[in-house]
Amino acid sequence: MDGQHNTLITTGNSIENDKAAEVAIKLFYGTSGVYELPTTVLAPGKQTWVDVGRLIRDQVPDRKGQLLPPGVMEGSYEIKDLTNHQVGYLYEGKLITDKTFGHATYGCALCCEYGGVGYDGFYLTPNPLYGTPGGGGQFNAWALNQCTGVDDPVDAYSYSSSNTSVATVTAVGHTSFVGAGTSTITGFAKLQSTQNPSCRPQPYQAPAPTTVQVPEHIVVLGDTQATQNCGAGPSTLARRITYVVDDTNGVRMQTPFLLKENVPTNIKRSCNNTTVQTGATCTPNLSYAPNLMGEFQDFLSLGCPSSQNVVPCGYQFANQQWQWCPGTGSPTSIGTVGPVNVQNTVINVDGNTLGFTPGTTFPK
């Protein structure tokens, strides 16, 4: 800028906004120069001005102590609303004057828009959301910022549920799981949009399915046995049964749940007088190997006998049953396996010693 040229930039907070806006203005020059003005808080209906020529002539430092070089004659600028980042409540304009020939040019910037044709502009996560009755989850809203090409978190002003007997949702997106089934949670937001070139807020909505599952029965996925080497002592057998847990519709569980093994807790192994570790308390199924959604393993093992004089040896359950622990109420059966007799030479589960066929189910 010089005595013949100047640029004035203005921005204001619309009276349609119901709160003050913190405004950040940056000037860009040269290949990488950035001049950051101090942020300004504008009440609804108020505005601020930037006299670029005065900043250069008077060598006014910016918020980081940087100066605009005296010879700068061109550049660009950015105005950002740090309070209402997803809507267009700021208005702006600039006036460029050239006294050489008496020219004055008015212009305005483009807003950084969200959404628009060809983009998944506004969406909710997680999508889908799974849970069990008594639990809950939080939806978060996102939109594609077309200036940066990056998805930004945005504020949704309302949420609704298509089936409140399955799931309810608060105004800020927290979902409570009520009963088995599927509900569509819809979020609403106002965003700047390419569909409205004046940068006024454009209403958006986005659906996300929510499925509430109730664990109903177990199904054998695999059943393997291996010999445990005990050195100089007699070897023993170990058996690993992998179960899949299906819901009331026969669909594999897609959400963690609490699992309980309904067996006595004071059973001792006669081989070495150690206590059998059972799942007699409600435990997340993902705490069991193989730590996969909708699966758990039952590992039946004796360990090594304390001496050769105690074989054959082992332990037994009169009736092994697996249960689901709901958020409220008593545990319910998802499969009664039957009697379990674990010995160092053979492991008998409900009369089966060779291994269950994948797909085997059990009464509840």
pLDDT at 116 over 60: no
- CB atoms < 10 A from the CB of 187, how many? 25
More confident residue, 101 or 297: 297
Mean pLDDT over 80-89 rounds to 74
Least confident range of 69-78, 106-115, 265-274, 331-340 = 106-115
Closest by Cα among 316, 330, 322, 324 to 363: 322
Tokens linked to 181: 């089934």
Least confident range of 188-202, 231-245, 305-319 = 188-202
Tokens linked to 82: 């740090």
- Gyration radius of the chain's alpha carbons: 34
Looking only at the bridges linking them, the beta strands covering 167-169 and 122-125 are unpaired
Contact yes or no for 272/303 (Cβ under 8 A):
yes
Report residue 100's pLDDT band, with 50, 70 and 90 as the boundaries.
low
Residues 321-336: pLDDT tens digits? 999 999 888 999 999 9
Using CA atoms, how far residue 157 sits from 85, 118, 136, 205, in Å, is 14, 24, 20, 10
> What does pTM read for this prediction?
0.72
Query: Does the N-terminal peptide bond of residue 290 adopt cis geometry, omega within 30 degrees of 0?
Result: yes
Mean pLDDT over 35-50 rounds to 92
Tell me, what's the pLDDT at 118? Answer: 36
Least confident range of 3-12, 72-81, 203-212, 343-352 = 3-12
pLDDT at 94 over 50: yes
- State the Cα torsion 139-140-143-147 to the nearest 10°: -170
The residue count for the chain: 364
pLDDT at 152 over 70: yes
Report residue 347's pLDDT band, with 50, 70 and 90 as the boundaries.
very high
Tokens linked to 247: 């819901």
Contact yes or no for 66/91 (Cβ under 8 A):
no
